[in-house]
């Protein structure tokens, strides 16, 4: 599974990229607004840090507007992925952009049939939102399993990767990986929490205590 970080905070991205575990970045209008910076500047800076895919979302809701904004975003860097809403105009733009060689990420997916439409439109990625479905009493992970199963039925024609989004905690990452999602896009705090385990901390403390008793140094 590939790990993307879901943020527009450049400092966070720099720190996580240093780990070597970061495969890409996703942003959205809310994250850009939170950064307080101009989208073109933020995306350009992120693309310079991370060589992998960087999703930048259009703000327009009509086809012509999406295509205009996509043209601007595509000029930022070769690794920009155009993020589009799962609407009729968004899917139309997805088809046009994919046909023109762009990579696309169709977002705000909440049903398996929506994901099927995104794949038929040629999306590079589809982003099913796990946490938001959980919030309304549905099983977000069931959506991941359904999409993966459908895509696997048609390996010759459906090439879209499942990008598990709206991840809230490490268990979501585990479940998405077991379900076969190709990518998980994870908030920085949740990504860092994947390292944590009390037995790791306890074991390291014991090793360090025993090492201190030897009086040795590695030099």
CATH of the domain at 192: 3.20.20.70
Task: Specify which residues 42 forms β-bridges with.
Answer: none
Catalytic-labelled residue, pool 34, 83, 95, 120: 83
pLDDT of residue 157: 96
132-155 mean pLDDT: 98
pTM score: 0.95
pLDDT digits (tens, 9 = 90+) for 163-197: 999 999 999 999 999 999 999 999 999 999 999 99
State the average pLDDT for the chain: 97
Residue 219 located in a structural domain: no
Residue 79: DSSP 8-state? T
Residue 74 located in a structural domain: yes
- SS3 state of residue 163: strand
pLDDT of residue 44: 98
95-118 mean pLDDT: 98
pLDDT digits (tens, 9 = 90+) for 55-67: 999 999 999 999 9
Residue 141 located in a structural domain: yes
Domain count, the chain: 1
Determine whether 83 is an active site residue. Answer: yes
In this structure, what token pair is assigned to residue 168? 């809230």
Indicate left, alpha or beta for 108 from its phi (over 0: left) and psi (-120 to 50: alpha).
Answer: left
- Residue 210's domain spans which residues? 2-214
- SS3 state of residue 113: helix
């Amino acid at each position: 599974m590939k790990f993307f970080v879901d943020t527009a905070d450049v400092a966070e991205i720099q720190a996580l990229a240093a780990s070597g575990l970061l495969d890409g970045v996703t942003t959205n209008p809310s994250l850009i607004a939170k950064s307080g910076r101009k989208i073109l500047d933020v995306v350009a800076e992120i693309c310079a840090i991370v060589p992998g895919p960087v999703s930048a979302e259009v703000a327009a809701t009509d086809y012509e507007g999406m295509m205009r904004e996509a043209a601007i975003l595509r000029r930022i860097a070769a690794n920009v992925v155009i993020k589009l809403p799962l609407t009729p105009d968004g899917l139309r733009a997805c088809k046009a952009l994919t046909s023109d060689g762009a990579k696309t990420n169709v977002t705000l997916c909440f049903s398996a049939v929506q994901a099927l439409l995104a794949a038929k439109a040629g999306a590079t990625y589809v982003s099913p939102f796990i946490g938001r479905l959980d919030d309304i009493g549905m099983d977000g992970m069931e959506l991941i399993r359904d999409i993966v199963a459908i895509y696997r039925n048609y390996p010759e024609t459906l090439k879209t990767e499942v990008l598990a989004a709206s991840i809230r905690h490490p268990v979501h990452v585990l479940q998405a990986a077991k379900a076969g999602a190709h990518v998980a896009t994870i908030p920085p705090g949740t990504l860092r929490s994947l390292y944590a385990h009390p037995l790791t901390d306890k074991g390291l403390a014991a090793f360090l205590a025993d090492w201190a008793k030897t009086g040795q140094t590695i030099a």
